[in-house]
Amino acid sequence: MFLVGLLGGVHCAGMCGGIVSAISAGVPRSPRPGWRAQLPVLAMHAAYSSGRIFSYSLAGAVAGGVSGVGLLAGGALPLQTVLYVLANLMMVALGLYLAGYTRVLAPIESLGRPLWARVQPLARRLLPARTPAHALGVGLLWGFLPCGMVYSMLGLALLSGSPGSGALIMLAFGLGTLPNLLLAGMLLTRLRALTRSPTLRRIAGLLVFGFGIAGLARASTLGDGLWNGLICHT
């Protein structure tokens, strides 16, 4: 999950470029020379990403809690297998989406728009963020931005079997996205140009695609895998 977040960070840096710019714009200019002048900017972006990752973890805990209510019981193996296959198909679609070969996840992203329509006005009230506390609040709310990559990872969190495991899955994913967004905050112009590189996006997307294919290849042994650590279980 961490690697998926890291590889998908090229998508995050492009998609969240606007909010990253807004966070950076709210930081007063520092009179200190060199790298020290970047510390206030780094603190703001760390606060923003902390809030965003917390929201991901909370969503993962909810998904894990749903799956824990009898979903991983011994007699539910057919249902587990179907959900496992669907989750990995989402991973395959995510890889193709990141590589720019398809927009198949766009309709899935639209499912979260009604909630985002209610959350976005609250987030915009905190912009421009003047303090780390404001940036934290923006991150907490921006974690609900409709995103096919996040929804794909929630599909795997749904198989975790408990709120704690679901939260850890999304925490690992969120931490994977962190380096790209921190760099985007510090080196916005250069990184945005890099994330638009078709070659980089294709490499990252095809690696994620490979994760999904590897997961599908293990679907036939899911029953044994449940008890050997393939998926967490209660």
For the residues of 170-199, what is the DSSP string, one character each? Answer: HHHHHHHHHHHHHHHHHSHHHHHHHHT-HH
Give me the pLDDT at residue 108, please.
78
Q: Check residue 29 and give its pLDDT.
A: 61
- The predicted pLDDT at position 230 comes to 46
Residue 188's pLDDT is what?
55
H-type alpha helices, the chain: 2-7, 9-15, 17-25, 39-68, 77-99, 106-109, 113-125, 132-142, 148-157, 163-186, 188-195, 198-217, 222-226
The answer to pTM > 0.85 is no
Residues 133 and 126: their CA atoms lie apart, in Å, by 10
- How much is the mean pLDDT over the chain? 77
The confidence score (pLDDT) of residue 234 equals 46
The predicted structure's pLDDT at residue 229: 47
- Kindly give the parts of the chain with pLDDT less than 50: 189, 227, 229-230, 233-234
Report residue 171 as tokens.
């925490």
* pLDDT at residue 58, as a whole number: 95
Identify the pLDDT of residue 227: 47
Instruction: Check residue 140 and give its pLDDT.
Output: 92
